[in-house]
């Protein structure tokens, strides 16, 4: 059996502590990368139907940096409770290893050292994972849903409000000091809604979901590319292959850079996780802005 490295063993112990193990639940054989799913092309497909994407509201997928564990959130139809569900890869086979209550909208930093939970987080230390901590001021005064980070420690996060005032903000790390959060420019913060950002590990692009004129439905997914002068390009809609007359949100690119995952909701609010070849991002670099 291929052992998990010590970091992910520690994370798994945090997720399973005091909770029921689900490793013995009957599941179809899930062997190989990406939970054994056949990779998609440039047309999005539902990810792991019947296993990950079910009749419940399944959202917000992400892999650990070593691609040995997979996480997503689920809202049960009956109880309406949110859970964080974990699959781990052992001996080339994926097993459902833990189900715990969701805290915030989890996102693991590219270096694997921090588990971000909105305005909260856990940090890896020599003894394992820290207790849940608060980011403190000024973050505690912002209704953060999703906070993501780059390899250099830049935060990009949202503000959960649909009153037209919610914006995406960023905060860079300078040495051991973090600068005060600042709103991103008008190219990104335009329209009624801007949320659930994903900053590329190298900060070469930024994706998020927004509601603005000229979209396909409710929330559409947009992308902005970093320019040579450090500015961000005008927003580009990912197009009708990704965006529909429903709502799409929470873009995320796998640590190996190969696939884009995102949430998609229909008109009844039912949500599934979709994935598509990340080459779609490169096809947009020279496309005119929305």
Does a structural domain hold residue 288?
no
| Three-class DSSP labels, the chain | CCCCCHHHHHHHHHHHCCCCCCCCCCCCCCECCHHHCCCCCCCCEECCECCCECCCEEEEEEECCCCCEEEEEEECCCCCCEEEEEEEEECCEEEEEEEEECCCCEEECCCCCEEEECCEEEEEECCEECCCEECCCCHHHCCCCCEEECCCCCEEECCCCCCCCCCCEEECEECCEECCCEECCCCCCCCCEEEEEEECCCCCEEEEEEECCCCCCCCEEEEEEECCCCCECCCEECCCCCCCCCEEEEEEECCCCCEEEEEEECCCCCEEEEEEECHHHHCCCCCCCC
Confidence grade of residue 25 (pLDDT, cut at 50, 70, 90): very low
289 is a domain residue: no
Mean pLDDT, rounded, for 207-236: 92
In a domain, 72, yes or no: yes
Segment 118-175, tens digit of pLDDT: 999 988 788 767 889 999 999 998 999 999 999 999 999 999 876 766 799 999 998 8
Is 176 domain-assigned?
A: yes
Is residue 85 in some structural domain? yes
287 within domain boundaries:
no
The structural domain count of the chain equals: 1
CATH of the domain at 66: 2.120.10
The pTM for the full model equals: 0.87
Query: Average pLDDT for residues 31-45, to the nearest whole number?
Result: 95
Is 242 domain-assigned?
A: yes
The residue range of the domain holding 156 is 6-282
């Amino acid at each position: 059996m291929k052992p998990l490295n010590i970091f992910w063993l520690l994370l798994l112990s945090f997720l399973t502590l005091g909770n029921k193990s689900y490793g013995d639940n009957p599941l179809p054989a899930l062997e190989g990368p990406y939970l054994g799913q056949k990779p998609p092309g440039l047309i999005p497909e539902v990810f792991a139907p019947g296993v990950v994407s079910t009749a419940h509201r399944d959202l917000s997928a992400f892999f650990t940096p070593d691609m040995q564990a997979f996480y997503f959130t689920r809202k049960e139809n009956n109880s309406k409770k949110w859970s964080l569900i974990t699959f781990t890869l052992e001996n080339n086979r994926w097993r459902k290893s833990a189900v715990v209550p969701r805290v915030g909208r989890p996102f693991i930093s590219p270096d694997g050292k921090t588990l971000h939970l909105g305005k909260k987080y856990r940090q890896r230390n020599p003894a394992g994972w820290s207790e849940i901590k608060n980011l403190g001021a000024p973050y505690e005064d912002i209704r953060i849903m999703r906070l993501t980070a780059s390899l250099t420690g830049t935060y990009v996060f949202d503000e959960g409000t649909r009153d037209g005032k919610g914006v995406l903000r960023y905060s860079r790390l300078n040495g051991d000091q973090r600068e005060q959060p600042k709103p991103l420019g008008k190219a990104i913060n335009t329209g009624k809604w801007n949320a659930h950002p994903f900053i590329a590990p190298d900060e070469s692009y930024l994706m998020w979901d927004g509601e603005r004129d000229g979209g396909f439905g409710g929330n559409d997914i947009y992308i902005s590319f970093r320019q040579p002068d450090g500015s961000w390009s005008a927003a580009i809609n990912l197009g009708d292959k990704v965006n529909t007359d429903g709502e799409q949100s929470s873009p995320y690119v796998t640590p190996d850079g190969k696939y884009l995952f995102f949430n998609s909701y229909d008109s009844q609010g039912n949500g599934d996780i979709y994935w598509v070849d990340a080459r779609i991002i490169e096809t947009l670099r020279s496309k005119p802005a929305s």
